[in-house]
Structure 1
Amino acid sequence: MPQQTCMGAMMKCTFGLAPSTLIPTPKPIMTSHMVAANIMDHVPMMNIPPFGMCNCPGNPMVAAATAAALGVLTPMPCIPNTPAPWSPGAATVMLNNAPALDNISMLTCIWGGVITFSNAGQTTHMIP
């Protein structure tokens, strides 16, 4: 079942070697006491931090390092390049004039990676 994503949601990239956490643009809307995200929270380095090292051969830095290593795949530091918004988002829930971001949405990096969520960032609270 889809969940609203928020600050701290865990992301993974198909070509990244480490997980990363979503940093939504501050909004007055909260979920689980955290800033809620919408599909426009896709700006590299601001909303989408690096995923450690990138091992995508389509990334020019990886391709150059691999060529210099005589064809041995050589990962290079990840610098996300995500020009388009998350897709599809929650079409029935609007946050700041854009669909809310849920944990089944995906984001494509121009270098070839697909970014997905492994955790929506929401926590469950026990009430005594």
Structure 2
Amino acid sequence: MAKQVAMGAMMKCSFGAAPSALAVLPANKVLAEGPPAANIMDHVPMVNILPFGACKSLANPAVKAATIAAKGVLTPMPCTPVTPAPWTPGAATVTIANVPALDDVSSCMCQWGGTISFTSAGTVKTMIP
């Protein structure tokens, strides 16, 4: 069963070098085991989704330029997430602020080709049916 995602949930990016924690603003006034609960609209880069260390995607212009400068040797550069679309699929039966709640089986795509997923939901007991 999926778990509700809350502030502090740990994420990974398929092109990132390090994990990152989800930041959830308390605007929706819903808590999950203490911290603010997330919905699928909590995907804003540098607000909700913070960098994942170094990026290894050649679709990222900074990585591509550094790799070209290094004569074709892949050269990771600092991660700058670009997530234009919400998390998918989200919870089918639970909403927060009239938007599907975010569960730990959802993922988000970065414009540079990475898939962002959860390694920890930030909750233990709150299950979503």
State the TM-score bracket (shorter-chain normalisation).
over 0.9
TM-score, structure 2 as length reference = 0.94
**Residue of structure 2 equivalent to 1:18:** 18
Cα distance, 1:90 vs structure 2 = 0.1
SS of alignment partner, residue 100 of structure 2: strand
**Residue of structure 2 equivalent to 1:64:** 65
Rounded Cα–Cα distance in structure 2 between residues aligned with 1:57 and 1:83: 19
Rounded Cα–Cα distance in structure 2 between residues aligned with 1:24 and 1:99: 15
> Higher strand share goes to which structure?
1
SS of alignment partner, residue 38 of structure 2: coil
SS of alignment partner, residue 12 of structure 2: strand
% identical aligned pairs:
60
The code of the aligned residue for 1:9 comes to A
Cα distance, 1:50 vs structure 2 = 0.3
**Residue of structure 2 equivalent to 1:104:** 105
Rounded Cα–Cα distance in structure 2 between residues aligned with 1:116 and 1:15: 12
Matched, 1:3 2:3: yes
CA deviation digits over 1:37-81, x for unaligned, max 9? 000000000000000000011111100000000000000000000
Unaligned runs of 5+ in 1: none
**Residue of structure 1 equivalent to 2:32:** 31
Unaligned runs of 5+ in 2: none
Rounded Cα–Cα distance in structure 1 between residues aligned with 2:81 and 2:25: 17
Cα distance, 1:36 vs structure 2 = 0.1
Cα distance, 1:25 vs structure 2 = 2.4
Task: Let me know the Cα RMSD of the aligned residues.
Answer: 0.9
SS of alignment partner, residue 33 of structure 1: coil
TM-score, structure 1 as length reference = 0.94
Cα distance, 1:91 vs structure 2 = 1.6
Cα distance, 1:7 vs structure 2 = 0.4
Matched, 1:78 2:115: no
The code of the aligned residue for 1:8 comes to G
Cα distance, 1:24 vs structure 2 = 1.2
